[in-house]
Amino acid sequence: MTKENVSTKICSKCKVEKESADYYTNKTGKFCKLCISHINKLKRRKKNIKKDIIDYEKAVNDGLICTKCNKLVPLNRLIKDMTLKFNVKKVCLPCNSKTSREFYNNNVDKCIERTKKWRGENKEHRAEYEKAYSAKNAERKKASQRERYKRNPLPLIQKVKERADAEKLATPIWANKDYISLWYKLAKIEQERTGMKIHVDHIIPLISDVVCGLHCEDNFQLLTAGDNIRKGRKFNSDGSCYAKD
Ligand SMILES: [Zn+2]
Ligand SMILES: [Zn+2]
């Protein structure tokens, strides 16, 4: 095919010389197919933006209907989702917490497993977070503890004494005092290394409703303060800090 046999026309929008197949034959316009589709797209978008603005103003004033409870809810009482229109999901906060609670109750094992997995995969992220959190709260916490101690020192002294007694009682004669102090030294080293508060935890708790652990080197593990508090006096045979009941 030679060039002379093909009739061409210059599009008056994009100024490109194009073959007649690139133009709509039933339209007498001077714009090519591509330019026409582009123009239509822009028109549609303009119309949608106008409609969106009207819808948004209405949503701000009246709220949106929650798809779960069918009640009209103000925007700030809906679940935030930046990927959706108006940055909200059409589910209200109470409905959302109800659904997640139900889901948790029906899938306890799965949820625990998932949290565990997430924690394992995000160890660094979590360490960063706990570090920042304890740094932010350390001063405040110390101040409030000092305040409490000044007001009423007895309970704290009592608590420390009780704890010492419990440890003494739970220490078997064969426990190795050097190993025990090594664990506490190790905790200190870890604390300096990670910048997080590290506790020497009794895998089997000293004081609990079901078991009484020993205060000796075989019953120790290092936990971050957060994990230790989460574990509390729960007893999990694997020493983990997650509730299993
Ligand atoms: Zn064109
Ligand atoms: Zn609702």
DSSP string, 157-171: HHHHHHHHHHHHHH-
Structure tokens at 128: 């960063």
Distance 45 CA to ligand 1 centre (A): 20
Distance 148 CA to ligand 2 centre (A): 42
Q: What is the residue whose two structure tokens read 């109750």?
A: 105
Least distant ligand from the CA of 77: 2
| Strand ranges, E, within the chain | 8-10, 17-19, 64-65, 72-73, 78-80, 88-92, 198-202, 220-224
Look at residue 245 in the predicted model and tell me its pLDDT. Answer: 39
Distance 6 CA to ligand 1 centre (A): 18
Residue 70 has pLDDT above 90, yes or no: yes
Distance 98 CA to ligand 2 centre (A): 9
Look at residue 6 in the predicted model and tell me its pLDDT. Answer: 67
128-159 tens-digit pLDDT? 887 788 788 888 888 888 888 888 888 878 88
Q: Give the orientation angle of helix 153-170 with respect to helix 123-151, to 10 degrees.
A: 120
Average pLDDT, the chain: 84
What is the spatial distance between Cα 84 and Cα 67, in angstroms, rounded to a whole number? 15
Query: Which comes out higher in pLDDT, residue 38 or 138?
Result: 38
Q: What is the residue whose two structure tokens read 């925007």?
A: 75
Q: What number is the average pLDDT over the span 186-203?
A: 88
Distance 114 CA to ligand 2 centre (A): 26
Look at residue 98 in the predicted model and tell me its pLDDT. Answer: 92
Q: What angle do CA 92, 95, 99 make, to 5 degrees?
A: 135
Look at residue 2 in the predicted model and tell me its pLDDT. Answer: 45
Least distant ligand from the CA of 73: 2
Residue 235 has pLDDT above 70, yes or no: no
Q: What number is the average pLDDT over the span 220-231?
A: 83
Give percent of the chain with pLDDT exceeding 70: 91
Q: pLDDT confidence of 236, banded at 50, 70, 90? A: low
What residue segments make up the domains of the chain, in order of their start? Answer: 1-62, 66-106, 108-231
Residue 239 has pLDDT above 80, yes or no: no
Distance 75 CA to ligand 2 centre (A): 12
Q: What number is the average pLDDT over the span 70-77?
A: 92
Question: Does this model's pTM top 0.75?
Answer: no
Q: pLDDT confidence of 5, banded at 50, 70, 90? A: low
Distance 73 CA to ligand 2 centre (A): 8
Least distant ligand from the CA of 78: 2
| Residue 89: exposure state from Cβ atoms within 10 A (0-12, 13-18, ≥19) | middle
Look at residue 237 in the predicted model and tell me its pLDDT. Answer: 60
Distance 77 CA to ligand 2 centre (A): 9
Contacts for 148 with CB less than 8 Å, ≥ 6 apart: 156
Distance 24 CA to ligand 1 centre (A): 12
Least distant ligand from the CA of 90: 2
Contacts for 182 with CB less than 8 Å, ≥ 6 apart: 217
